[in-house]
């Protein structure tokens, strides 16, 4: 550990790994409206924020638990299809609030190919919000949960016991994971028709 008169303790939120102050500084200087995507162990949270000297102001927000409570989503609340749907819902709400464009803010998340944060951003894009995302290509099948469905089919044929254990939450909610793509389309249509 460094000692002496030149040693500086980093800010608490930086030490805890919660805030990258350089990125934050750039966002504040740009005064851009941000599409903030945060992933937790259980949920996806997508918010549209604008800077204010007293603290950020949330213009529109969506939480993946809303998919369960309002739209009858029976899948997991933190998987790829849930990230897309949450981003789509946040994008619709931002458009309704008069926001046309935003910059993506993924926080301390390391951008990797096929990451869920990009599917949440894609959802907002498909809702009509303009978000610069570069040339990142996302798999349409992963958006709908086809990869989960195919894995469930394979697992059920090879190891039914593991299938029941691994997909117990889906089955307890009354959804066979093999039907996830059609369930995704059903929930997406409910969100589109809700007038959010």
Instruction: Summarize pLDDT for 67-109 with one digit per residue, the tens.
Output: 999 999 999 999 999 999 999 999 999 999 999 999 999 988 8
**9 is a domain residue:** no
Look up the pTM and report it: 0.91
In a domain? residue 7: no
Q: What are the residues facing 39 on neighbouring strands?
A: 44
Domain that holds residue 139: 20-193
- CB neighbour list of residue 125: distance below 8 Å, 6 or more residues apart: 91, 131, 133
pLDDT tens per residue across span 127-177:
999 999 888 889 999 999 999 999 999 999 999 999 999 999 999 999 999
- Domains held by the chain: number: 1
Domain containing 44 — which CATH number?
A: 3.30.420.100
Residue 127 has a pLDDT of 96
Predicted local confidence at residue 2, as pLDDT = 61
Residues 28-57 have a mean pLDDT of 94
Three-state SS annotation for 73-116: CCCCCCCHHHHHHHHHHHHHHHHHCCCCECEEECCCCCCCCCCH
Whether 82 is in a domain gets the answer: yes
CA proximity to 73, closest of 166, 177, 183: 183
Instruction: Indicate whether 129 belongs to any domain.
Output: yes
152 falls within a domain: yes
Task: Provide the pLDDT confidence category of residue 7 given band limits of 50, 70 and 90.
Answer: confident
């Amino acid at each position: 550990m460094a000692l002496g008169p030149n040693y500086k303790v980093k800010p608490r939120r930086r030490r805890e790994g919660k805030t990258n102050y350089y990125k934050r500084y750039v966002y504040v200087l740009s005064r851009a409206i941000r599409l903030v995507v945060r992933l937790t162990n259980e949920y996806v949270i997508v918010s549209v924020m604008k800077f204010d000297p007293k603290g950020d102001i949330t213009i529109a927000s969506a939480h993946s638990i809303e998919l369960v409570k309002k739209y009858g989503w029976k899948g997991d609340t933190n998987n790829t299809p849930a990230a897309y749907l949450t981003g789509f819902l946040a994008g619709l709400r931002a458009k309704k609030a008069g926001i046309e464009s935003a910059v993506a803010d993924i926080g301390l998340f390391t951008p990797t190919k096929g990451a869920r944060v990009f599917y949440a951003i894609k959802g907002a894009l498909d809702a009509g919000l303009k978000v610069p995302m570069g040339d990142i290509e996302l798999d349409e099948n992963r958006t709908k949960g086809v990869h989960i469905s195919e894995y469930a089919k394979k697992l059920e044929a090879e190891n039914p016991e593991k299938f029941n254990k691994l997909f117990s939450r889906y089955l307890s909610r009354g959804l066979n994971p093999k039907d996830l793509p059609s369930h995704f389309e059903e929930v997406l249509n409910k969100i589109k028709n809700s007038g959010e």
